[in-house]
Amino acid sequence: MKQGDPRQNTGAARSALRPSLSLSRQNWRQAAAALLAVFLLGLCPLPGSADPFPAVIDHRYGTTTVLAKPTRIVSLSFIGHDFLLALGERPYALRKWYGSDPYGVWPWGHDALGEAQPVVMRGEIDIERIAAMEPDLIAAQWSGITAQQYALLSQIAPTLPPRAEDGDYGTPWQQMLLRLGTATGKRTTAEAIVTRIEGRFADLRAAHPEWQGASAMMAWAGHTRAYTRADIRGQFLTALGFSVQDAPDGQNALNQFYIEFPAEDPSAMDVDALIWLDTGRNVEKLARMPLRHTTRAYREGREIYADKLLSAALSHSSPLSLDYALDQLVPLLEAAVDGDPATVVSSTANAGLLAKGGS
């Protein structure tokens, strides 16, 4: 990732402000103070200040150059609008993933969206429609964009696909935010957000030594598919210190963000904390799941049922949703990981999913 070099005018500034040798000691001090002020105010980025353009960003398909601050951003990422809103950038158009909100923005993003009414796109990427919007930045991390689509979209406007080292849906939230921060001139703001949220994860790791190295997994209710370390949900658990299964190596390994286990043998899902994600419609399916009752996670009360909102917060793992996810999930993890069925996981109990004989 590269940016325009803010040091390019340093020499001129120094020359213009170099104090005369004939200055008195008092004037020298005043000049030195003025020089320092200029350096601090003019040459060092301030929180919220605009970063220099052009911004140059490397990615899996090459390099994208954003010549000036974008004002008409089309977000093709299923979760990227959260990241733009966290930076104070309201997209002109966004790609709705799921949920009942007409603009595809979940509650944690409502304040940041304000009264804005972005154009909503759904389903496959419609390049002709995007061209008609005349965007000046197309944000396409976590969008599944192909090389062919990038080749077309980048003729419309600067387009930002994922990094080369990440899968289609595996870019860490920090990198997604920092790269958007660079593209929108909000790099300093992005860095401050990353520092704050990473600090919260670090505090939670320090407060929970029992989590460090314990096994954990997220899966959709009623299914034997679980997210790997490469997925943003696996990354969330890893950031808390849990051990999460790796994706198998091999062809297209970067995009293997989940593993499917045989329904007749759920032993691989028998972890210290098993989080069932749900859209709110699969409680009965989970309750009837064959062989679930044979697992230690079930018997020892290590299962966590994540309701629709918590599941969405985890599945977005955005700078806006992570705080909500931590607020809700941490108490549930504390109750689940101790392995004592008498310590009730409230969300699992409320969904009627506790083991028979559990509290």
| 221 and 180 in a common domain | no
Q: Is the peptide bond before 54 cis (omega within 30 degrees of 0)?
A: yes
Say which range, 60-74, 143-157, 262-276, 327-341, has the weakest mean pLDDT: 262-276
**Average pLDDT rounded to a whole number, residues 352-356:** 89
Residue 50 confidence (pLDDT) above 60: no
| Tokens found for residue 88 | 């104070």
| 345 and 214 in a common domain | yes
Residue 51 confidence (pLDDT) above 90: no
CB 324 within 8 A of CB 313: yes
With CA atoms as reference, report the closest residue to 300 among 221, 244, 359, 350. 359
CB 357 within 8 A of CB 310: no
Q: Is residue 116 in a domain?
A: yes
| 175 and 242 in a common domain | no
Q: Is residue 285 in a domain?
A: yes
Question: Considering the entire predicted model, what is its pTM?
Answer: 0.83
d(CA 20, CA 9): 21
Residue 20 confidence (pLDDT) above 80: no
**Average pLDDT rounded to a whole number, residues 133-152:** 97
Residue 31 confidence (pLDDT) above 50: no
| 229 and 345 in a common domain | yes
| 174 and 221 in a common domain | no
Query: 45-70 burial, b if ≥16 CB within 10 A, otherwise e?
Result: eeeeeebebebbbebbbeebebeebb
Q: What's the confidence (pLDDT) of residue 253?
A: 61
CB 319 within 8 A of CB 177: yes
Residue 185, Ramachandran bin (φ over 0: left; ψ between -120 and 50: alpha; else beta): left
Q: What's the confidence (pLDDT) of residue 241?
A: 98
Residue 339 confidence (pLDDT) above 60: yes
Residue 157 confidence (pLDDT) above 60: yes
Domain-ending residue, one of 160, 193, 226: 193
Kindly list the strands in the beta sheet with 62-66, ordered across the sheet, starting from the edge strand earlier in the chain.
2-3, 55-59, 62-66
| 288 and 246 in a common domain | yes
| 254 and 225 in a common domain | yes
Q: What's the confidence (pLDDT) of residue 1?
A: 38
The tens digit of pLDDT for each residue in 273-304 reads 999 999 989 999 999 998 999 999 999 999 99
Query: 131-161 burial, b if ≥16 CB within 10 A, otherwise e?
Result: eebebbbbbbbbbbbeeebbeebbebbbbbb
Q: Is residue 298 in a domain?
A: yes
| 222 and 324 in a common domain | yes
| 264 and 158 in a common domain | no
Other C-beta atoms closer than 10 Å to the C-beta of 2 total 12
Q: How many CA atoms lie within 13 A of 288 on its CB side?
A: 4
Residue 53 confidence (pLDDT) above 90: yes
Domain-ending residue, one of 162, 193, 224: 193
Rounded percentage of the chain residues whose pLDDT exceeds 70: 83
The tens digit of pLDDT for each residue in 182-197 reads 999 999 999 999 999 9
| Paired sense of beta strands 55-59 and 137-139, if any | unpaired
**Average pLDDT rounded to a whole number, residues 55-76:** 97
Average pLDDT, the chain: 86
Residue 42 confidence (pLDDT) above 60: no
Q: What's the confidence (pLDDT) of residue 254?
A: 62
Residue 248 confidence (pLDDT) above 80: no
Domain-ending residue, one of 168, 193, 218: 193
| pLDDT-derived band at 73, boundaries 50, 70, 90 | very high
| 276 and 177 in a common domain | no
Domain range spanning residue 344? 208-351
**Average pLDDT rounded to a whole number, residues 35-51:** 39
| 246 and 186 in a common domain | no
| 217 and 143 in a common domain | no
CATH of the domain at 65: 3.40.50.1980
